[in-house]
Every structure is written in C-alpha cells, then in structure tokens.
Amino acid sequence: MREPETPLLGSTALVTGASRGIGYAIAAALAVRGASVTITARKPEALAEAVERLGPDRSMAVAGAADDSAHREEAVARTIERFGSLDLLVNNAGVNPQHGPLVDADLGAVRKILEVNVTGALAWTQLAWRGWMAANGGAVLNVASLGGLRPGHGIGAYNASKAALIALTRQLAQELAPGVRVNAVAPAVVRTRFARALYEGREAEVAAAYPLGRLGEPADVAEAAAFLLGPGAAWITGQTLVLDGGLSQRGF
C-alpha cells in the first residue's frame, strides 16, 4: 500500500536546537511531510535564515536557551497559539563543554551538560504533555548518541548524559502511553559543526572504521526521525534506533 506523500499534514512539531545540523534537517524532513514546525536555538539570525529555508508560512522560530524555563514556556505557548496544536516534539538541543578524563572534569561543565541534555529534554516533554499531548496524543523523539550506549574517549560527561536520555526515553514511553509515543535515535559521528572535533582533519581515517565507509549526514538522522514520529511507527515506543553505519556491529 502506497504511503501518503504528506503523512504529517495537519500536525505541528517543535524541534529544539534546530537552526542548523541535525535539528534543522529533522525540521525540514517534517515540513516536507506536511507538518508545521517551530524551531528553537540561541541565535536569532541563524533561526531567521532557517525559517526562510523552511518556509515562513508554515514555520516559526523562537530564540532562547534550551535550559531556560521562560524560553521553553514561551516556545510551547507560541507554537500552540500559532498552529493550533503541538503533536510532535523533538528534543535535539545539546551541549558538550567538557573534554578529557572525567576524573579531571570541571563539575560546573558536567552540570551544564546534564541540565541541557537531560533535564532540559524532560522539561520540554512536560510542557508539551501539559499543553497539548495529554489530552490529544502525540509523539516525542529524543536525539541521543551512540556514546550513550558505549564509552568513548574524552567526552564522558556527554556520553553519560545521552545514556540518561536513553533511560529517560524508556521511562517516559511507559508513563505517557498509550496516547504519546516516545522514542530516540542514537547516531554515531555525523558531519555537523557540533561534531567536527571528532573528525575534522582526519575524516577519511574516522570513516574507515565504519562498515558503510562514511560518516553520517544530518539527512540520515532526519529520515529515521521522521519515520519514528510518523504514522508508520504507530506501534513503536520506548525504542532507541542506532544510526551508526554499522560501527557497533563490527567484530573484534
């Protein structure tokens, strides 16, 4: 049976951290499938450019920090006021100001990572639930990381936050069912500005470790996200889809 070309027509999405990279790619994928989209990020200029690309008639930007409670409340309220609903939430905003061994980590940086990457995701979900989804249903997608499933070098606090986000995904999937589905994606290295420290200047070397022979692209994550948020995934909740070009399946 052929799927509709706009399976999300009539729905509204809010995507955090979406002025560029994975967040923008997800917002664009949802818009192409018919959704109206609110995007958030810290820089108004980058958001304005993103809205122009998405189409101002069916997209809107709300600038602010993902760990700012007033910003979160404003973004949710304005989304529902402008588009009439909030059916899809994508918790993509993330930070990583800590690099190096955890035993030497600045605890302030660690707290910041957890506040944005974990507590922030929960706070956005609470607002979406109270503002719309509790009464009307919906779907939530958390952008985690392969690092949440296995240790890595130098980004231990970030990986710990993504492990917590994966656990949060499972917990919320149980608590918000049956009306709201909650899933996650766990990408390996994707070619974005955020991740460039992991591959810049040695991309061929890093990509050689992947059985599929390349790093991820934002579109790879966006397509998976759009599926998990759409009607084709109506019987999927509490799952974390690994997107890693086969890296985690490589034998020793």
Give the model confidence (pLDDT) of 8-49 as tens digits. Answer: 999 999 999 999 999 999 999 999 999 999 999 999 999 999
Local mean pLDDT, 10-residue blocks, the chain (252 residues): 78 98 98 98 97 97 97 98 98 95 96 98 98 98 96 92 98 98 96 75 86 94 98 98 92 52
The confidence score (pLDDT) of residue 1 equals 47
Who contacts 79 (Cβ-Cβ below 8 Å, separation ≥6)? 12, 14, 38, 60, 62, 86
Report d(CA 163, CA 215) in Å as an integer. 21
Provide the 3-class DSSP secondary structure of residue 186: strand
The residues near 108 (Cβ < 8 Å, ≥ 6 apart) are: none
Instruction: Give pLDDT, residue 192.
Output: 81
Predicted structure pTM score: 0.94
pLDDT of res. 66: 95
Q: Is 199 a catalytic residue?
A: no
- pLDDT on residue 8: 98
Number of CB atoms found within 10 A of residue 200's CB: 11
Domains of the chain: 12-244 (3.40.50.720)
- Close Cβ partners of 213 (under 8 Å, ≥ 6 residues apart): 207, 245
